[in-house]
Structure 1
Amino acid sequence: MEKLTSTKGKVNLLHQGYVYRLDRVLKSGKESWRCVIGTRKGRIYVCGDECTSASDHNHVPDPAKSAASLSIMRLRERAATSNDPPRRIIQETQLNLQPEAVALLPKYHSLQRTVQRKGKCEGLPISAPYGTRINRVNNCIYTEFNMGQEWSIWHV
């Protein structure tokens, strides 16, 4: 049983290849989780670290999709805490994935934008390409290339 964070910041539960979302907390203190696939009937109850199945799924688990979801969550966490370039974060996240799981990941450009947005939201310093230097002057970011020319990239 592993807890995942969805794109919208909600907590999901990964258990035996199925992904669940929190449905409600019962009076007894148990949590009722239901399958994230909308028309599916799978439901489990969680009390502490103990899971009990309430109803069976009417579909088979997809371990590749579960691995891809877990990989994306780890990519977001790493992007929020690391100052590494997006390419390195993406490659290291995909390193131990099976080809079936890699095929289910979003396109490289989407993953790259996710890493850049997550780092920007967390206020991490911007990583510059080799041979450049970043300067901040009057709430505007400038880069200085090898040729000594300065170009305005964007306003902060």
Structure 2
Amino acid sequence: MEFVKSKKGKEKVIFEGYVYVKQKKLAHGVVSFECEKRRNKLECKAKIKLRGVNLVGRLNNHSHGPDPARREILKVLQEMKKSAEETEEAPQQIISRSVSSISEDAKAKLPTVHQLRRNFRRYRQVVNNPPPVPLNISLPS
């Protein structure tokens, strides 16, 4: 079982070759995760429930097979985002270094280089320019 972050920083779990997204928190520290294909045309209804890193329960079977390339893609995208945050390397260098270590199947399913570079620019812009803190200034009446 592996935990990764989505593009928006949300939790995802990779378990037995399937990717699950956080659905909701339940009682007693249990968290429900649903298959990431739940809201697409496959409408997979598989769910797991975790307490920490321990599997507590499973609901339904998957309506599709596991995608081993998806795990690689999520790990590489997370690695790229971390590199963009920590280094000043050019996006092309980070992309080349990261993509060199994955399988051909995963490379074929990655976003285009143009899309990856655009995501780097956007991410670095947000990191380097955090939103301003509003000032509480009272004006005389």
Instruction: Quickly name the TM-score band, shorter chain normalised.
Output: 0.7 to 0.9
Q: How is 1:1-156 mapped onto 2 (pairs within 5 angstroms)?
A: 1-38=1-38, 39-55=43-59, 56-123=61-128
TM-score, normalised with respect to structure 2: 0.80
Question: 1:134: which partner in 2?
Answer: none
Which residue identity lines up with residue 15 of structure 2 in the other structure? H
Give the root-mean-square deviation of aligned CA atoms.
1.6
Question: 1:132: which partner in 2?
Answer: none
Q: Structure 1 CA distance, aligned partners of 2:121 and 2:87?
A: 11
Contact kept, 8 Å, 1:79 with 1:116, in 2: the verdict is: no
Where is the helix percentage greater, Structure 1 or Structure 2? 2
Where in structure 2 are there 5+ consecutive unaligned residues? Answer: 130-141
Where in structure 1 are there 5+ consecutive unaligned residues? Answer: 125-156
Q: Structure 2 CA distance, aligned partners of 1:53 and 1:78?
A: 35
Contact kept, 8 Å, 2:11 with 2:21, in 1: the verdict is: yes
| Residue 52 of structure 1, CA deviation | 4.2
Equivalent pairs: percent with the same residue? 28
Larger Rg: 1
Give the number of equivalent residue pairs.
124
Where is the strand percentage greater, Structure 1 or Structure 2? 1
Moved over 2 A (4+): none
Label 1:24 to 1:97 Cα distance change in 2 as closer, same or farther (>3 A): same
